[in-house]
């Protein structure tokens, strides 16, 4: 019988229970789908690493004889070691709209225990010495290649043909990025080709019998840093550029970060939603018990035990928890695979789908039930204390009281009578007011933070290309050259309007025991093509002496302007001896993590003759109103690219506008995700206001009905409730701003990597949108509640004493 009572009670207030249920469903949906997708991704990663013998350490060197490897394999702590030749080559067939590049990676076909082994997905084995390659699956699919396809590339300044023999993937390239400045893979521009070592040597005769890249695995329990210390002196004579652990390997770093992020989100978001739902339910139950005290009295008088009465009211909470948990869990399981599939668009790991996860379904249900058990018990424990006789008496009348706020004369004078009622009601139920305040603060902050992700992504991508790297194209050389003749050569072309050299020098910067491997960019004094800016966006001049660091780099090295760093580099004339350099400034950098110097100062420091590793150019063409896409510029860049198609010295010609355009397209995908989160924030605000309206309505239906009888319109009557909600919400929205700022800072700290640094500031637009969206959610919820005021049955309410 009590079940029927419960079902009817819930049905009678279905709107509020539904609002609560929706929050539980969203929470559980995110919990299961993100957990499963995270597991899928991390399982794929683990399996893939194990099966392909993924390296623990990576070394880039200028070049080293192949036979040295055997000696290196003796180094204590190293289990297996492989040496490869890695070179980028430009592709002339298939032709892309922009420059297309292949990372050529050699494979030692005789070595049965290759480190970073390649998994052949489809196709046939490579033959030693033949110009046959396996191509990574994304590039293969993007250009719809097939087995036997003849790729045309420029390698070592010569046109060559490579025959596609298969499709493959490697743990080293789960998230392949061509240059440091990129943040997402672009298979249209960049692919990986695996080729036999002998064929590689034929392509690049200068490396015959040598390797420029070493990867190794560690014996179980070995410490990378110790192995590094042993290996470094061995590799230094061969021009060691960088020696780093798996944790710093780009693909691994981003993939692991994604897995960690999924796991974090799979807890944080559901906790947020379930807590709010639990609180709403707690308040609803508390009200229900107060309302039904007469019924409780009768039940107890009949002989129902405390336990039975409590269980009855707990059942309301557990029903919502169970239904929400089940529906949310099932929906999450259903969505987990599409989510995994979406992730695999970005990460090249073999597919693993867990399918139906009973584990997460049950875990989700248990979490949901546990939260609702606590919320429900807190809500209905009052029923326990009621004695039957006492319960059947009406509750003590509500005593009116002026609030402290009203002691402020001006404030009091400003209030209408409805306003006074509202303000006094706030004090009447402090815990509920506090909940309303916290809930609205949280919803507002969620909306602001998610909305500002738009700005962040914008800043991340566009700041670098539109404010800092303000050149049209970058010409990267295969080896450093003296800048003057190249500048003269480039300026000679009609389409080129401006040329500046750039020196990108790999260095190891150290301060006390902290060290970082980064690129120092040498930029001409007063450069108009590469503009370093401070936090306020003002141009920062390149210092003659000393180095400018990005904020993140300065943090990692624990230095500030005035500190002195040790700098080591394979480019130092006296290779072994580090030189000292002063930090003169720290600047924000969102994309990448670099150090900057004036180019001649850098060259002097290295004690080298003048050189540049790439050139920044501006080309003819306007991107004014007649030519918004900058087509003429694209044509100029294409002609420049054509000109150096077969040059041995030019590795790549990259147009920056193309990058920006592609980034913009990608951002649109992210946009959808952001709007979904914004919607979640709105649902939360809506549910809180909606259920709070209903509780207030049920509590004060008598007062409200009396006001209607006096001749007030439904809207005037409802203004007592809305005034109360707006009063709290205004403060909640104001409090939401600093909370959003705190969340943003936590976000930025958690999510920033060496590849990109998230800015922690919130734009005025995000703050405004957060406030507007929150206000809109409140208004919509109030419109729904207003309908209940319209339907208030005056006769029924006023006839009886509560």
Binding residues for other proteins, rule: CB under 8 A, are 397-401, 416-418, 420-421, 424-425, 428, 702-703, 705-714, 716, 790, 794-795, 798-799, 801
Contact call for residues 389 and 295 (beta carbons, < 8 A): no
Q: Closest distance between other proteins and the C-beta of residue 8, in Å?
A: 13
Q: Closest distance between other proteins and the C-beta of residue 729, in Å?
A: 20
Q: Closest distance between other proteins and the C-beta of residue 11, in Å?
A: 16
Tokens representing residue 215 in the block: 């990867």
Residue with tokens 């402090």: 430
Sequence-distant (≥ 6) Cβ neighbours of residue 572 within 8 angstroms:
578, 579, 606, 607
Distance CA 548, CA 662 (A): 30
Contact call for residues 532 and 539 (beta carbons, < 8 A): yes
Q: Closest distance between other proteins and the C-beta of residue 396, in Å?
A: 9
Q: Closest distance between other proteins and the C-beta of residue 394, in Å?
A: 11
CB nearer to other proteins: give 388 or 419.
419
CB nearer to other proteins: give 116 or 418.
418
Q: Closest distance between other proteins and the C-beta of residue 422, in Å?
A: 9
Could you tell me how far CA 88 lies from the centroid of its own chain?
29
**How many Cβ atoms are within 10 Å of 329's Cβ, its own excluded?**
26
CB nearer to other proteins: give 673 or 709.
709
Interior/surface letters 373-397, b for 16+ CB within 10 angstroms, e for the rest:
eebbbbbbeebeebeeeebbeeeee
CB nearer to other proteins: give 384 or 712.
712
CB nearer to other proteins: give 112 or 711.
711
Tokens representing residue 318 in the block: 């557990």
CB nearer to other proteins: give 705 or 767.
705
Give the C-alpha distances (Å, rounded to integers) separating 794 from 292, 554, 708, 710, 801. 20, 70, 8, 11, 13
CB nearer to other proteins: give 709 or 768.
709
Sequence-distant (≥ 6) Cβ neighbours of residue 429 within 8 angstroms:
none
Q: Closest distance between other proteins and the C-beta of residue 715, in Å?
A: 10
Is the alpha carbon torsion for 404, 407, 408, 410 positive or negative? positive
Interior/surface letters 103-135, b for 16+ CB within 10 angstroms, e for the rest:
bbbbbbbeeeebbbbbebeebeebeeeebbbbb
CB nearer to other proteins: give 300 or 708.
708
In DSSP notation, 51-115 reads HTT--SEEEEEEEEETTHHHHHTTSTTEEEEEEE-EEEEEEEESPPSS-EEEEEEEE-TT-TT-T
Q: Closest distance between other proteins and the C-beta of residue 261, in Å?
A: 49
**How many Cβ atoms are within 10 Å of 463's Cβ, its own excluded?**
18
> What single-letter DSSP state applies at residue 530?
B
Q: Closest distance between other proteins and the C-beta of residue 721, in Å?
A: 13
Q: Closest distance between other proteins and the C-beta of residue 386, in Å?
A: 22
CB nearer to other proteins: give 402 or 749.
402
Crossing angle of helices 14-51/656-699, nearest 10°? 150
Q: Closest distance between other proteins and the C-beta of residue 689, in Å?
A: 21
CB nearer to other proteins: give 680 or 726.
726
Tokens representing residue 435 in the block: 């909940």
Interior/surface letters 48-70, b for 16+ CB within 10 angstroms, e for the rest:
bbeebbbbbbbbbbebbebebbe
Give the helix, strand, coil percentages of the chain, each rounded to 5: 55, 20, 25
Q: Closest distance between other proteins and the C-beta of residue 756, in Å?
A: 55
Q: Closest distance between other proteins and the C-beta of residue 13, in Å?
A: 20
CB nearer to other proteins: give 430 or 801.
801
> What single-letter DSSP state applies at residue 317?
H
Could you give the strand order of the β-sheet that contains 240-245, starting from the edge strand earlier in sequence? Answer: 78-84, 210-218, 57-65, 240-245
> What's the distance, Cα to Cα, between the start and end of the chain in Å?
25
> What single-letter DSSP state applies at residue 534?
-
CB nearer to other proteins: give 558 or 790.
790
CB nearer to other proteins: give 419 or 506.
419
CB nearer to other proteins: give 4 or 799.
799
Task: Compute the residue count for the chain.
Answer: 802
Helix (H, G, I), strand (E, B) or coil at 591: strand
Q: C-alpha dihedral over 456, 457, 463, 469, to 10 degrees?
A: 150
CB nearer to other proteins: give 93 or 788.
788
Q: Closest distance between other proteins and the C-beta of residue 398, in Å?
A: 4
How many DSSP H helices and E strands does the chain contain?
Answer: 23, 20
CB nearer to other proteins: give 764 or 795.
795
Distance CA 8, CA 293 (A): 17
CB nearer to other proteins: give 705 or 773.
705
Q: Closest distance between other proteins and the C-beta of residue 797, in Å?
A: 9
Q: Closest distance between other proteins and the C-beta of residue 413, in Å?
A: 13
Radius of gyration of the CA atoms of the chain, in A: 33
Distance CA 688, CA 777 (A): 10
Tokens representing residue 148 in the block: 């036997």
Sequence-distant (≥ 6) Cβ neighbours of residue 528 within 8 angstroms:
470, 498, 500
CB nearer to other proteins: give 357 or 701.
701
Q: Closest distance between other proteins and the C-beta of residue 407, in Å?
A: 14
Q: Closest distance between other proteins and the C-beta of residue 388, in Å?
A: 25
């Amino acid at each position: 019988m009590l079940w029927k009572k419960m079902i009817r009670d819930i049905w009678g207030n279905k709107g509020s229970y539904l609002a609560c249920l929706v929050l539980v469903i969203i929470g559980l949906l995110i919990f299961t789908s993100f957990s499963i997708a995270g597991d899928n991704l991390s399982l794929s990663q683990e399996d893939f690493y194990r099966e392909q013998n993924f390296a623990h350490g990576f070394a880039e060197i200028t070049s080293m004889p192949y036979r040295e490897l055997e000696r290196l394999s003796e180094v204590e702590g190293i289990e297996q070691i492989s040496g490869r030749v890695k070179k980028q080559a430009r592709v002339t067939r298939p032709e892309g709209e922009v420059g297309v590049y292949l990372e050529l990676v050699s494979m030692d076909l005789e070595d049965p225990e290759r480190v970073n082994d390649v998994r052949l997905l489809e196709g046939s084995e490579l033959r030693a010495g033949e110009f046959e390659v396996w191509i990574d699956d994304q590039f293969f699919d993007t250009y719809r290649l097939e087995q036997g396809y003849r790729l045309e590339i420029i390698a070592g300044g010569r046109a060559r043909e490579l025959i596609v023999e298969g499709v493959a993937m490697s743990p080293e390239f789960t998230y392949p990025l061509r240059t440091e400045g990129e943040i997402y893979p672009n298979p249209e521009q960049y692919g990986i080709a695996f080729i036999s070592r002998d064929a590689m040597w034929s392509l690049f005769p200068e490396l015959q019998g040598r390797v420029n890249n070493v990867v190794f695995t560690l014996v179980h329990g070995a410490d990378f840093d110790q192995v590094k210390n042993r290996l470094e002196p061995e590799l230094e004579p061969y021009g060691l550029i960088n020696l780093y652990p798996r944790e710093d390997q780009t693909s691994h770093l981003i993939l692991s970060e994604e897995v960690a992020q999924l796991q974090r989100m799979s807890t944080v978001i559901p906790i947020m939603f379930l807590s709010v739902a639990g609180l709403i339910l707690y308040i609803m139950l508390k009200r229900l018990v107060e309302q039904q005290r007469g019924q409780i009295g009768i039940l107890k008088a009949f002989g129902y035990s405390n336990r039975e009465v409590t269980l009855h009211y707990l059942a309301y909470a557990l029903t919502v928890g169970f239904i929400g948990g089940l529906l949310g869990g099932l929906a999450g399981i259903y969505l987990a695979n599409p989510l995994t599939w979406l992730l695999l668009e970005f990460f090249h790991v073999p597919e693993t789908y867990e399918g139906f996860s009973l584990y997460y379904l049950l875990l989700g249900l248990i979490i949901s039930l546990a939260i609702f058990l606590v919320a429900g018990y807190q809500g209905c424990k009052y029923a326990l204390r009621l004695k039957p006789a006492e319960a059947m008496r009406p509750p003590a009348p509500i005593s009116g009281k002026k609030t402290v706020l009203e002691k402020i004369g001006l404030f009091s004078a400003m209030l209408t009578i409805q306003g006074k009622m509202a303000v006094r009601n706030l004090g009447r139920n402090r815990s509920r007011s506090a909940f309303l305040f916290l809930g609205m603060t949280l919803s507002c902050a969620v909306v602001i933070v998610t909305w500002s992700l738009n700005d962040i992504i914008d800043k991340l991508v566009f700041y670098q290309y539109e404010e800092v790297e303000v050149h049209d194209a970058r010409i990267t050389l295969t080896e450093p050259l003296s800048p003057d003749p190249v500048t003269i050569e480039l300026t000679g072309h009609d389409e080129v309007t401006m040329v500046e050299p750039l020196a990108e020098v790999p260095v190891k910067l150290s301060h006390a025991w902290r060290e970082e491997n980064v690129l120092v960019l040498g930029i001409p004094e007063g450069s108009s093509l590469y503009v370093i800016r401070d936090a306020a966006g003002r141009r920062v001049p390149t210092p003659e002496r000393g180095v400018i660091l990005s904020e993140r780099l300065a943090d990692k090295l624990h230095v500030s302007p005035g500190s002195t760093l040790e700098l080591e580099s394979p480019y130092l004339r006296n290779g072994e001896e580090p030189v000292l350099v002063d930090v003169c400034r720290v600047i924000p950098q969102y994309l990448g993590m670099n150090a900057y110097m004036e180019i001649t100062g850098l060259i002097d420091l290295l004690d080298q003759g003048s050189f540049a590793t790439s050139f920044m150019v501006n080309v003819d063409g306007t991107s004014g109103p007649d030519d918004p896409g900058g087509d003429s510029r694209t044509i100029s860049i294409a002609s420049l690219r054509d000109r150096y198609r077969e040059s041995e010295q030019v590795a790549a010609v990259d147009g920056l506008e193309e990058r920006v355009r592609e980034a913009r397209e990608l951002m649109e995908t992210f946009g959808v995700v952001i709007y979904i989160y914004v919607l979640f924030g709105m649902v939360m605000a809506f549910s809180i206001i909606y259920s709070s309206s209903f509780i207030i309505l049920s509590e004060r239906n008598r007062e409200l009905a009396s006001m209607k009888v006096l001749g007030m319109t439904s809207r005037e009557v409802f203004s007592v409730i809305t005034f109360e909600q707006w009063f709290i919400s205004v403060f909640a929205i104001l409090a939401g701003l600093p909370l959003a700022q705190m969340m943003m800072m936590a976000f930025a700290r958690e999510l920033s990597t060496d590849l990109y640094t998230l800015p922690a500031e919130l734009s005025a637009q995000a703050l405004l949108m957060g406030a507007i969206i929150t206000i809109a959610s409140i208004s919509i919820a109030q419109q729904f509640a207003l309908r209940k005021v319209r339907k208030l049955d005056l006769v029924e309410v006023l006839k009886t004493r509560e």
